[in-house]
Amino acid sequence: MSPTETATAALTLWREKIDALNLQLLALLENRGRAVDSIMALKQDLGVDTYDPNRESAMLAMIESQVAGPYSREQVGRVFRTIFEISRELGRNTRRLRGA
């Protein structure tokens, strides 16, 4: 096999690995979304505020403290702030669907 063919084969394998990791991330996000949905419903039943900025800050600090690379803490923080924002949207949808 030529060096080009070897590199192309390696690239294909890495792409397949990325595809599999993307699907794992999707499954984790979907599981997290179901958990958020359940939490929002419980909070609604309890009559408590669904948004807790202190909890969000604590989760973000815990996550960022575990970053080992290759992404920086700031980059990981951006990803999770986006996940938190989308989760709040999911919570608003949950409340709307439950008649809140």
Which pTM was predicted? 0.84
- Tell me what pLDDT residue 100 has: 54
Compute the average pLDDT of residues 13-29.
Answer: 98
Identify which of 45, 76, 99 has the alpha carbon closest to the alpha carbon of residue 84.
76
Compute the average pLDDT of residues 59-86.
Answer: 98
pLDDT above 60 (res 15): yes
What's the number of CA atoms in the CB half-sphere (13 Å) around residue 95?
A: 16
Task: Work out the pLDDT band at 96, boundaries 50, 70, 90.
Answer: low
CATH superfamily membership of 3-97: Chorismate mutase (1.20.59.10)
pLDDT above 70 (res 27): yes
